[in-house]
Structure 1
Amino acid sequence: MASPFIEIPVGDRLVKVTNPDKVYFPEHGYTKRQLVEYYLAVGEGILRATRDRPTTLERWPAGVFEGARMATREDYARGQAGMGAGKSDAFYQKRIPKGAPDWVRTARIAFPSGRSADEVCPTEVAVIAWAANLGTLTFHPWPVRKGDVDHPDELRIDLDPQPGTDFSDAVRVALGPARDLLAELGYTGYVKTSGKGGVHIYVRIEPRWTFTEVRRAALAFGREVERRAPAEVTTKWWKEEQGRAGVHRLQPERQGPHDRFGLQRPAAPHAPVSAPVTWDELPDVDPHDFTIATMPARFAEVGDLHAAIDDASFSLEALLDMADRDEKDHGLGDMPYPPNYPKMPGEPKRVQPSKDTGNP
């Protein structure tokens, strides 16, 4: 028996939604149809965040339920080796799914492993709705456009509270040393909640620098914020070195934070979302107030608060000069890369200090 479905008009398209009454968030009874309708309600904003960007889909096709498990890198490696990947309930879709409509565009990107993939590249709101029907709760756009996938056009700053700190700590750092430094650099930063407990700041940059150079600039930004608020901020990589500081965790890898309006990986059953806010309202924000139930009305009232983000882009030269000074005067070079990267030039050991035997 064929599964029930409805068709929703989105622009010039009809988007098929299968099993529309399937409950995706059992605690509140939110259905797949409500998930799709949420993304349509904020469609203008999420398309601005993902338009023309290769985008990884974080899919939860069975919905969100207690004990749901995200597939890990180890699962993938076991599957590639024919060992059986184990049961998982959610996964990252890097390649365009088979059977996608011909109006779903793609962009080819290369991974550090040397492999490549044709990733979904949203060009219209209908693509967002189509992906939501597949159980996509979060869209992870790369900080590049399909016309030039080697030169980022976005600097992403992630203030990520660690154990012992919370959202208020991230807000205090964002409104203090981080915002001050943005102003001194002449940057316009667009702020949002992460959907979990942190704060993300986005800055449009000129697409003139490589990923490695943008990473270097991001490290320089973080280290300068750390100097200004050493009791609250650390750029230390290993948790055992961090203490109780609010961690300014950067996103220098190829994929940065998830999109505006995307749902946070749903450890919380009330479907929290990542929400653009203004700098003025940030001090009074409660990130738990932004959910798939509340955001449509907010978006209808305030619109897309990041609508002007493409109006100006900025140079990284000042930050790269700061990075040069950090290395020359303080011996501050690179930080460890994620484990899926090959060993990078100038990269320190990927070993926790307590486990470092000193052997090469």
Structure 2
Amino acid sequence: MALREYTRKRQFDRTPEPRPEQSVEPDRREIFVVQLHHASRRHYDFRLQVGDVLKSWACPKGPSYDPKVKRLAVEVEDHPVSYASFEGDIPDGYGAGHVDLFDTGVWATDEDPQAQLRKGHLRFELYGKRLKGTWHLVRSHRKERQPAWFLIKGEDAFASDVEADDLLDATMIQSTKRASGRSGGARDVAAKLEGKQSKATPKPGRKRRMDPAKIAASLPGTLKKNRHPGFFKPELARLRETPPTGDDWLSEVKWDGYRILTSIAKGKVDLWSRNGLSWTAKLPEVVQAIEALGLDSAQLDGELIAVTDGQPDFNALQQTLSGEQAARLIYMLFDVPYLEGYDLTRCKLIDRKEALRQLLDVAPAQLGYSAHVVGHADQAFAQASERKLEGILCKRAHSPYRGGRGDDWIKVKRLEADEFAVVGFTAPKGSRKGLGSLLLARPAPKGEWAYVGRVGSGFTDDMLRDLARTFSASASRTPTIKHTGEAPRDAQWIAPALVAEVYYRGIGNQGLLRQPSLKAMRPDKSPASLRDRDRSTSITTRKRPASGAKTRTSKRDGDAMIVITHPDRAVYPKDGYTKQDVADYYRAVMDWFLPGILHRPLSVIRWPDGIAGQSFFQKHVPAGGLKYVGVARLTEETGASAMYLFPESADSVMELVQYNAIEFHPWGAHVEQPDCADRVVFDLDPGPDVAWNNVKAAARLMRKRLGQLKLESFLRTTGGKGLHIVVPLNPPSPWDEVKTFARGFAETMEAMHPLDFISTSSKARRTSKIYIDYLRNGRGATAVASYSLRGRPGAPVAMPVRWEELGRLRGANQFDLKNAVTRLKRQRKDPWEGIEEVKQSLTRVLKALAKK
């Protein structure tokens, strides 16, 4: 059910319940909440966050910890996420009565929750203060007015005969007595709770034969010592190419996740990142699991991972931390520097690990023990490579625990090897002779080649000289392949003729080889032979192309890599367009759309529930990050700095679409040169009574006045009410210079044509006038991108047009999700073709104006 049903049933001027738009921050873990509702019929409201809403069920008797008990749960309308913190009295009307917060926390599941709900069986785990462990929601086959489900406790360590009413505190008990007239008092329920709560929240550590203090005291080299609670400096590893040999080393899996350090003082658990940032609030299930060990003081070291299909999945980890998934998280522990008052840092690593193993013998499923093998590091590495794991960590078995980077821990990452065509080279630098690096490419669709990076290590001096002689006669500044990707500006290109076999450590976010090194030149193979291999060879990347210039994308780039979840979700409900339709649109226009946003700091507007719901303005990196979207720390006009998003490829765009982005608003600058703008954007925003023909006449006049300053301009419909006039700058100009010019020009237009234009944003003064919005030209300000959809009914598109087309335009929202694609298919050339070649200096214009 959509939030419109929630809205339909409530009068928000009478009820304190939150409006749908009163949302919480969108980038946090998916939560659950249970509220005790004293309505006409007392019941518990059980809610799970799925995406950006709370899926909700009314449970008359509340959850039961007994796996044999099936509790009826009637599905009701979806609620906004902000409802999770609601407590108070709902007045007469729908749902009248008092609401108490019974429990809240995060939840997880191993599979897609939407798919499970459609099938009628959702398996999940709760990490709350009262509700813990495995649970099931199973759809009833009975025909009811509202969908009926059963809420059932799973068989696990938390199962018991405890009921929800047994876990009420005194305040809720008094509310229950007033609402339902139940007999009994707080003292009776408290006695029952005291006897049964231990069954609902068992302490696995208490079942151990030997207590942790005795384990710590028994280790050779242990020292009785009080440790200061809080963050401690982690031990770090050095990267090596090959595993060490001998039985002095033990090898563990190198987990693909986030390093997490745990400190426990007087039973209180705190989690830290390797850089000392608190992660305690982000990982309640890990905190609960460690609390279940029953420790008074300790320091633990490990890696937080998410597992899908039996493999660590870093992407699932990021998406879970950002609220896009609810995958199960596991804290893989591999060291214990301190335990129950004993300093273990001087003990041998192999002894510390044995202590840790005993500590975790009976532990919750959220805690894992990172096992090891002694010696045979080469075999361990081979097995890790075969399983496609990131690599191994080799540690000296008898080493102490030392904070910082040293030689006792060595990481060996999995190396892949493949063959690539040589398509160019760079000049040598410093004392290097011959050439600097080889430029590599691999086959792409339609007989083309795709740039995948450069390799500069692994060569002998003789090889460098020989290759330089071979290439010198045929080198050119003009690329010999179509997809030049992130190639260096000083590249010399050659036709694909030689093959190089290269080691590398996976593929980076931009589609480039990570840490490549030459294995061998392959004179026995030709580039043509690479096309015949039975493997996927379609990796396409890009150098930042000219805005307004058409680029090509491979099928894989922006397609196969990004899976669109919830494709049937209504985005434009009145128009019938779904999330899949939005994704298909951006794929269809990608060649035209991408150049205008590539490598520009970007703000997106997200509509998780479609344009009928609440929108979110996103310009900074969400918690957990994004896999294919670039990140840059930039200073805003206010002086503050933040981590900004910027698209690196078509996959960046599709990942943001998957993240429910509809509108794309880039800066007028690139991340490589954020202090200077290469665009001036004037937004002509007409008042409600301004005729469209007047808007077109105003655009022509603006073009004429800019032309008098010898500034060429380009035109774009906004998809809203007005037009954008865009002035390219080459070379770019500092932001203060651009803003000064934009303001001065807008104020001049107002002074010369006071009945037509206004340069201030006062709505009271904009009647019958066109507002020239020049404020899009400050550092950090944005304007909608060409070909971007708009979050408005009709799915309009911001469309670049030729000046010659202005007379035929029927409105600023003339182009939409459907006819925009049709237009591009029959369009012979980009309306903004040549925008990057326009050489015009704003500094020159300002100097000329200053002389007048």
Class of the TM-score when normalised by the shorter of the 2 chains: 0.7 to 0.9
CA distance in 1 between counterparts of 2:595 and 2:816 reads 19
**Per-residue deviation, 1:322:** 7.2
Alignment partner, residue 308 of structure 1: 834
Matches within 5 A, 1:151-300: 151-175=676-700, 177-250=701-774, 251-254=776-779, 255-266=781-792, 269-286=793-810, 287-300=812-825
Q: Does 1:36 align with 2:583?
A: yes
SS, match of residue 801 in structure 2:
coil
Identical aligned residues as a percent = 27
Which one of the candidate residues 112, 118, 126 is aligned to 2:651?
A: 126
CA distance in 2 between counterparts of 1:240 and 1:318 reads 37
The answer to whether the Cα contact below 8 Å between 1:143 and 1:154 also exists between their aligned partners in 2 is yes
CA distance in 2 between counterparts of 1:124 and 1:181 reads 37
> Higher strand fraction: Structure 1 or Structure 2?
2
TM-score (norm. length: structure 2): 0.33
CA distance in 2 between counterparts of 1:318 and 1:167 reads 34
CA distance in 2 between counterparts of 1:242 and 1:211 reads 27
**Per-residue deviation, 1:318:** 5.0
The one-letter code sitting in structure 1 at the alignment partner of 2:784 is H
CA-to-aligned-CA distance 1:22-62 (integer Å, 9 cap, x gap): 11111121111110110111112221110110101111111
Structure 1 residues 263 and 167, CA, compared in 2 at 3 Å: closer, same or farther? farther
Which one of the candidate residues 670, 673, 683 is aligned to 1:145?
A: 670
CA distance in 2 between counterparts of 1:232 and 1:193 reads 19
TM-score (norm. length: structure 1): 0.76
CA distance in 2 between counterparts of 1:311 and 1:249 reads 26
CA distance in 1 between counterparts of 2:718 and 2:558 reads 29
**Per-residue deviation, 1:203:** 1.4
The answer to whether the Cα contact below 8 Å between 2:637 and 2:778 also exists between their aligned partners in 1 is no
The answer to whether the Cα contact below 8 Å between 1:96 and 1:120 also exists between their aligned partners in 2 is yes
The answer to whether the Cα contact below 8 Å between 2:758 and 2:771 also exists between their aligned partners in 1 is yes
The answer to whether the Cα contact below 8 Å between 2:683 and 2:722 also exists between their aligned partners in 1 is yes
CA distance in 1 between counterparts of 2:560 and 2:619 reads 24
**Per-residue deviation, 1:124:** 1.5
Structure 1 residues 215 and 325, CA, compared in 2 at 3 Å: closer, same or farther? farther
Aligned pair count? 298
CA distance in 2 between counterparts of 1:319 and 1:161 reads 28
RMSD: 2.3
CA distance in 2 between counterparts of 1:57 and 1:276 reads 19
> Higher helix fraction: Structure 1 or Structure 2?
1
CA-to-aligned-CA distance 1:97-154 (integer Å, 9 cap, x gap): 3445543212222224443222221121221111111111111101111111111111
Larger radius of gyration: 2
**Per-residue deviation, 1:315:** 1.0
Which one of the candidate residues 600, 608, 615 is aligned to 1:61?
A: 608
Alignment partner, residue 846 of structure 2: 320
Higher relative contact order (CA 8 A, sep 6+): 1
Q: Does 1:110 align with 2:657?
A: no
The answer to whether the Cα contact below 8 Å between 1:56 and 1:141 also exists between their aligned partners in 2 is yes
CA distance in 2 between counterparts of 1:21 and 1:29 reads 10
Q: Does 1:14 align with 2:561?
A: yes
Structure 1 residues 321 and 240, CA, compared in 2 at 3 Å: closer, same or farther? farther
The answer to whether the Cα contact below 8 Å between 2:757 and 2:772 also exists between their aligned partners in 1 is yes
CA distance in 2 between counterparts of 1:225 and 1:322 reads 18
CA distance in 2 between counterparts of 1:172 and 1:288 reads 17
Alignment partner, residue 182 of structure 2: none
The answer to whether the Cα contact below 8 Å between 2:558 and 2:587 also exists between their aligned partners in 1 is no
The answer to whether the Cα contact below 8 Å between 2:733 and 2:843 also exists between their aligned partners in 1 is no
Runs of 4+ in structure 1 deviating by more than 6 angstroms, as ranges, are: none
**Per-residue deviation, 1:241:** 3.8
Structure 1 residues 300 and 107, CA, compared in 2 at 3 Å: closer, same or farther? farther
Structure 1 residues 281 and 134, CA, compared in 2 at 3 Å: closer, same or farther? same
The one-letter code sitting in structure 1 at the alignment partner of 2:589 is V
Structure 1 residues 241 and 319, CA, compared in 2 at 3 Å: closer, same or farther? farther
CA distance in 2 between counterparts of 1:52 and 1:104 reads 10
Alignment partner, residue 350 of structure 1: none
CA distance in 1 between counterparts of 2:749 and 2:767 reads 17
The answer to whether the Cα contact below 8 Å between 2:669 and 2:676 also exists between their aligned partners in 1 is yes
The answer to whether the Cα contact below 8 Å between 1:220 and 1:322 also exists between their aligned partners in 2 is no
SS, match of residue 743 in structure 2:
helix
Structure 1 residues 233 and 325, CA, compared in 2 at 3 Å: closer, same or farther? farther
**Per-residue deviation, 1:253:** 2.6
CA distance in 2 between counterparts of 1:93 and 1:243 reads 32
CA distance in 1 between counterparts of 2:773 and 2:732 reads 24
The one-letter code sitting in structure 1 at the alignment partner of 2:786 is R
The answer to whether the Cα contact below 8 Å between 1:45 and 1:307 also exists between their aligned partners in 2 is no
Structure 1 residues 197 and 120, CA, compared in 2 at 3 Å: closer, same or farther? same
CA distance in 2 between counterparts of 1:223 and 1:107 reads 34
SS, match of residue 248 in structure 1:
strand
* Of 276-285 and 201-210, the range deviating more from structure 2: 201-210
Structure 1 residues 106 and 166, CA, compared in 2 at 3 Å: closer, same or farther? farther
CA distance in 1 between counterparts of 2:691 and 2:563 reads 40
